[in-house]
Structure 1
């Protein structure tokens, strides 16, 4: 049996106060509990720590060695714990956040500014990447992610979702014609984001779901580049609304086969399982939920 940290801490208090009764009073424990736990510690260590009688208290030689060895370590652990507890409650200090580049620098770019203005004492370290970062390895406090979260070692909170729609530039549609039926896409140039291949499309009117297998003119693992190709008139693309909302409003892009839509892309705040969120991380999580909740395009809305 291994000695427990709590029992060692209790022994340190007994040794400092030279009395089981005084230690019981300080720790607000019943004297019988203190006696029982001391005996349990001695049994775990295999030697007696305290010589005790009705009138006399002293540490054994082993007790003196144990006290000298553990007292400083326990003090350091308690001080570190107190410091971490204070840090977790303070709205100041470093906050490491991971987020997808396209989303963070696009529709959410004003959100970071608003958060920093409201909480100027928080030092925000933003790690932007379209790759999924290892949160424990990179010591990330909280992350913003899109799509299914298969990692069971993460807590997650859904903040919103983004629709995906088929689009093309007016010049492409004028040149190649506008497809009026889904099967006519095979006669068109298509631009594919690798994570969406093949296209899984759903009909808003009938509920029918179809996997569309096409040979794309370009297969790309970066959404921004697929968007650029679509705006340049190179073909039909399936893209999320957060990428295409402004091009649709400005006329750079138009919806194609508007009755069909692609997979829903959920937006999550995630943090490591077992990690207590600091006040800073909790605040950002709630701030993101409030901000994203006010954005129609991040709650499934579609610009026509």
Structure 2
């Protein structure tokens, strides 16, 4: 069972907005886009913190709509949200040691989307390291170790994670050596995520229902994005401009993690705007045309934010 209920009116709005955007010079957009949109009656931040039974949070009703919500696609740097959550889970279980370098890597991975920081954290989580190609027996042992994060998330029994893959590092130029072996001859073992799986994790983190309330507070701190124009101009890779945050009105509050590469432009965001229902919006867009489309995500965010305005 999904962690949210489909609301017909929201679905109608979402489908109409996608149709409008497709007709504005984006042929084939409907097949290149995946969206999960959740709307809340009040702030989601820390909502689960005070509950004596953590599972009680998951019984609270959530309204939503999706478009190709369960399609697992290459998530680019959005997968770093799952790596971050994995590090906090490992720390909670005392499987790894905390420290300034670990925290620096976590911050750089989320705030600056550093692939180098992500590489370190994947090694920390799995006890593996990149290097030259391996003979078959050693490669299989290395692969089994690298799958630890997949197995841990699999133990949560979230149906939204079906078909997802979280075990690969993120790259600038691409994998080499044993990393390339692990991807498979046709790169069939790349990371895969759906917008519904991503929305569920973001939903849990924002509410304080993943690992522990203090861990969620730390993760939210890293995910917070500034919409200040001056700060954005000073950081051209701010994960706001060209993404969902650019479409939000002045005064909005944003927590997000974007992902982009030559064939993808994605974003996952929790948004609060005065006079509006808070909402989560996860959008994955695929293909070279979408990767260079700097207006699609902001425009979709703007139109769906308007649909979340509370009655006067």
Q: Which has the higher strand share?
A: 1
How does the TM-score come out when normalised to structure 2? Answer: 0.21
Q: Which has the larger radius of gyration?
A: 1
How does the TM-score come out when normalised to structure 1? Answer: 0.21
